[in-house]
Amino acid sequence: MTDIDIGTAPAPPGAGTEVSSLLRLDGITKTFPGVRALTDVHLDVRAGEIHALVGENGAGKSTLMAVASGALAADEGSVWIAGTLLTSADPQEARRLGLGIVRQDPALLPDLTVAENMAVGVGIRRVGGLGRAVAWATAQLAPWDMSIDPRTRVADLSVEQRFVVEIAKALALDPRVLILDEPTEHLSIEEVQKLFARVREVVAGGAAVVYISHRIPEVKQISDRITVLRDGKVRGTFPAAEVDEAQIIERAIGRKLEAVFPEKGSSAGTIRDADRLAVRGLRGDHFHDVSLTVRSGEIVGLAGVQGNGQAALIRALAGLEASTGEVSVDGRRVSGGSAGAAAAGVVYVPADRHREGVFLPLSVAENVSAGTLPQASVGGFVSDRRMMARAKEMISRLSIKTPSPRTAVASLSGGNQQKVVLARTLLARPRVLLAEEPTQGVDAGARVDIYRILREAADDGAAVVVLSSDGVELEGLCDRVLILSRGEVVQELSGAEVTETAIARAALTSTTVRAREETDGRRH
């Protein structure tokens, strides 16, 4: 495995090269107030290749692609698209030169229909006029087989459908260079494979693709070459076939990943005997007859094939979804929705941190203290000094990367925003901590920190419930795992039984068995 020489700029693109360069970034440097985002970055993406860009949140990946797409001006350096110099930060010029980009947050207008959004995105004349927009959009969306009606307002689409519309819009431009920024974050396994098939079609036609992702297995599956960014600098470019996941992660976080998961409570002997959380006969719209217990100091995982009631169950435990049955904390029954759950010491960490986790317009300090304002107040007024002191303590304790406590939380990377959510959670000293997909969209280094934070919460006495679609995460973190199928807990794994293989087998087998049982029942 050989690093590129990050101190020497590649020659400008031109005739005579064996493989043509469709995107060339030379010596890109970008500084924001208090943050050096990129330092002398060189990137060369060739025709006919899928080039992955990986690194931790905050490594500079999205900033680099914003420069490449003309959305952001570099302080130093140059951008070449299909052999032509991008003379200024101009997204329309970058698009005219053949660059298309799919961002983490779809650039769609919510009040317009799908067809109108797609037509505006590629140009009305390209579609043949608004009168043909519906038929044209239908053809662009057909390969996805998601039953998206082009006449539907974007505001009424699911997150997954919005991403598919955004990707289909970008592909409709027949780009010479396609940038995909975390494109699979909200897609199912089946939709990911459809995306991969479309991406391979793009490069087979001679285009180039830049693929940005935290998911190293996906990167290994789809890419030809991989460039690793850390702290705004290139740490190497490698053929994908010549590096393994561990080597990529070590380059990305700057240290060996020897201890990803902390010691489990069942191994360390820190689990208490008493049940802190007890659930009896809980029923909701998407689950039924759920009974479970979680002891103080224990981490219990919820697993199963997506859509089998796990998400609805954990939200019901937080009082966010209607349910019947009994939920008790320390022997006392919880009632009164989310307010009653909060009063009982139940704290919920949502999967969608942007919509439910952080207050984007507020600072890091304000977000950290939002759940415990009385403790940061004097005489009924919030004390800035107390709020800053608490924020600084949590920033240090949780290794939150931020220029200062007064920095807007919106400017932080995804992993650091998640740590801010967890800082607010820990300040509330939860008796029960519910975490839904706690590392979704989070890089490898931040994952390690989040696992440590969750285990520390359990060691401090909380009963922790984690919903995760990552089998490795459940294996490494949880003392027990409950498998749900069709809204029921159908199997429990504990101790040495908690392995990625066993979790996957239990989830798939349980679903198959239940389906067979129901089919047999109909026959009789």
pLDDT, tens digit (0-9, with 9 covering 90-100), for 433-455 = 999 999 887 777 778 888 999 99
Q: Is the pLDDT of residue 519 over 90?
A: no
Q: Which residue has the higher pLDDT, 293 or 181?
A: 293
**What is the pTM (predicted TM-score) of this model?**
0.59
The position carrying tokens 């991989």 is 226
Give the phi and the psi of residue 89 in degrees, each rounded to 5: -75, 95
β-pairing, 21-32 with 177-181?
unpaired
For the domain spanning 265-523, the CATH number is: 3.40.50.300
Strands (E), 47-88: 50-54, 76-81, 84-85
pLDDT at 225 over 90: yes
Identical topology for domains 22-98+175-256 and 265-523:
yes
Q: Are 371 and 427 in contact (CB under 8 A)?
A: yes
> Does pLDDT of 458 surpass 80?
yes
Q: Is the pLDDT of residue 93 over 50?
A: yes
Q: In terms of Cα–Cα distance, which of 100, 171, 177, 99 is closest to 139?
A: 171
Identify the architecture of domain 22-98+175-256 in CATH.
3-Layer(aba) Sandwich (3.40)
Higher pLDDT, 482 or 505: 482
Tell which phi-psi region holds residue 101, choosing left (phi > 0), alpha (psi between -120 and 50) or beta. beta
Task: Residue 79: name the closest of 168, 210, 169 by CA.
Answer: 210
Domains in the chain: boundaries: 22-98+175-256, 107-173, 265-523
Rounded Cα distance, 211 and 185, in Å: 13
Model pLDDT for residues 356-375, shown as the tens digit of each residue: 878 888 899 999 988 787 88
pLDDT at 259: 59
Within 10 angstroms of residue 392's Cβ, the number of other Cβ atoms is 16
pLDDT at position 16, please? 40
Query: Which is more confident, 239 or 130?
Result: 239
173 phi/psi in degrees, rounded to 5: -80, -5
CA dihedral 241, 243, 244, 248 (to 10 degrees): -130
DSSP-derived letter for residue 347 is E
Mean pLDDT taken over the chain: 85
pLDDT (0 to 100) of residue 57: 66
Between CA 290 and CA 279 the distance in angstroms is: 7
396 phi, psi to nearest 5 deg? -70, -45
Band (522; pLDDT cuts 50, 70, 90): very low
Band of residue 293 on the pLDDT scale cut at 50, 70, 90: very high
- The DSSP call for residue 399 is T
Please report the DSSP string for 212-275 in residue order.
E-S-HHHHHHH-SEEEEEETTEEEEEEEGGG--HHHHHHHHHTS--S--SPPPHHHHT---SSE
Can you give the pLDDT at residue 191?
80
* Percent of the chain residues topping a pLDDT of 70: 91
pLDDT at 219 over 70: yes
Q: Is the pLDDT of residue 14 over 70?
A: no
SS (H, E, C) 297-313: CCEEEEECCCCCCHHHH
Token duo for residue 257? 């990943």
Which has more pLDDT, 264 or 158? 264
Query: For the segment 240-279, what is each residue's pLDDT rounded down to a tens digit?
Result: 999 988 788 778 877 654 557 889 998 888 888 889 999 9
